[in-house]
Structure 1
Amino acid sequence: MKDIVNITYLYNSGFVVEMDKYALVFDYYMDKTNYLSKLCQKYDNVYFFVSHSHFDHWNPAIGEFAQYVRKYFLSYDIHNRNSLPQEKTVVLDEYDEYKDDTIDVKSYSSTDAGISFLVSIGGWKIFHAGDFNWWHWKGDTKQNNAFARNGFVKQMKKIAGLKADIAFFPVDRRLEECCDWGVKEFCRQTDVDNLIAMHNADRQPWPLQPDFAGADKHIKVWSPVHPGETKRIEKLEK
């Protein structure tokens, strides 16, 4: 039997990853197709991940699914979490880790608010960057953009060499021609098999160049546009 996951785009940086026994929900903010209500009833093991407190990543309404959820993993900067059952909630700081017999969750820092996640479950390694990115805004000051670059370089030194079957990473078209600076560098310095572009709600997909990560990298890329789009990913044999 092939090792396969199905991924559904919710909105912005929100995605669902479905395996045989587990479902992972990342940065749920809006569910225009009402996918989660159907999903939670299908799985005994549902995990939610919230990378930070920005409104387009954190929606307290995830508490409505508590009866189906095994664990909620939240960034340390989310304080208004009364909608979630305390016994099912794990709060992670930067460079923190939670591990049990089923799941291993490691957190990294961000270049914006909160954290990013590396999740190991069911033989898969899945990275969700949250708002970790090289945020170069053309209209900003040289000082601010230099600060953003330095922050990104600093965090990449700690994340370089990371291995993941699937990585979700921001490719925000508001950054114009700078939109893929961060994802290019991330993919050059890590070992990622499948890349999924995110944080680009209601904008045109990423105009990908085949050698975006270097001539020696062969990374499958998905840049979803419409909520409800799905992608089937088969695990590579190594």
Structure 2
Amino acid sequence: MRVTFLAHDGFFIELDQVCLLFDWWKGVLPPLPDKPLLVFVSHRHEDHFNPAVFALADCKADIQFLLGSDFHLTPHNLTKWQLSPETAAKCRRCGKHDTFTPLPGVTVETFPSTDEGVAWMVTVNGQSIFHAGDLNWWHWAEEDLAWNRNMEANFKRYTEPLRGRRVDLAMLPLDSRLKTDGYLGPNYFLNLMEVRRFLPMHQWEDFAFTDEFLSAYPQFAPVTVKIHRDGEFLGEL
């Protein structure tokens, strides 16, 4: 699979039969191949969703928009997001525990988030791709003990169905705003699943935080793909 990091939590992935676009809200897209395009939007936070994403339907006929559980395709929102009836018909609001097949050979599973919306597991002809959205072990020093304990419990409960899963590509938050507590989520994920390649995201352009994480957990260096800049082509992974 050919992987391009767009910005923050946005990725473009080209496979043999389909292209996947995750949480694109800024950054320059590469040229779109003549393949079906599945557009995933995990939730409505402004660092994951820009209504301009729907304009892709104007230049791409074979496109589907898969939207997180916090989206509501009400008349008000359709007007606000400037969605035509034709584009709205290509949108699917996904629940927190869904499994479905948007295209032959493609299976999508959703998982609850510890924030808003969903996380995604996409399997394409046996290749598994996980995008966490805002599903993370968020541990904030300014929150009280009860809040952080509840967050930990929810994170472990929501991710338990992933235990032992083989994942070819995992896009996981590694957020330096949490300081060393930002290691909690990816460390847990990488022990929970059998991950072939880990792509850090949600870094607010603090890409050096990956090196700090790997200094603390050097065992994950062989599977970690370091990102250095927005718009970076990460290669064939």
Please indicate the TM-score interval, normalised by the length of the shorter structure. 0.7 to 0.9
Distance 1:210 1:220 in 2: 14
Distance 2:204 2:66 in 1: 23
1:232 to 1:123, Cα distance in 2 relative to 1, 3 A: farther
Does residue 112 (structure 1) correspond to residue 115 (structure 2)? The answer is yes
Does residue 231 (structure 1) correspond to residue 227 (structure 2)? The answer is no
2:71 matched residue in structure 1: 78
Aligned residue pairs, count: 223
Distance 2:66 2:2 in 1: 21
Cα offsets for 1:83-123 (capped at 9, x unmatched):
26122112110110221413211101111101000001144
1:56 to 1:122, Cα distance in 2 relative to 1, 3 A: same
1:45 matched residue in structure 2: 36
Of Structure 1 and Structure 2, the greater helix share is in 2
Structure 1: runs of 5 or more not aligned: none
Alignment of 1:142-161 (within 5 A): 142-161=145-164
Does residue 28 (structure 1) correspond to residue 24 (structure 2)? The answer is yes
Distance 2:31 2:143 in 1: 41
In the TM superposition, what is the alpha-carbon distance from 1:219 to its structure 2 partner?
Answer: 4.7
Does residue 96 (structure 1) correspond to residue 98 (structure 2)? The answer is yes
In the TM superposition, what is the alpha-carbon distance from 1:164 to its structure 2 partner?
Answer: 1.0
Amino acid at match of 2:14: E
Does residue 65 (structure 1) correspond to residue 61 (structure 2)? The answer is no
Of Structure 1 and Structure 2, the greater strand share is in 1
Q: Secondary structure at the match of 2:149?
A: helix
Amino acid at match of 1:209: L
Contact 2:207 2:227 in 1 (8 A): no
Q: Secondary structure at the match of 1:157?
A: helix
1:6 matched residue in structure 2: 2
Distance 2:10 2:171 in 1: 10
Q: Secondary structure at the match of 2:89?
A: helix
Aligned-pair Cα RMSD in Å: 2.0
Paired residue for 1:190, among 187, 193, 196? Answer: 193
In the TM superposition, what is the alpha-carbon distance from 1:128 to its structure 2 partner?
Answer: 0.3
Structure 2: runs of 5 or more not aligned: none
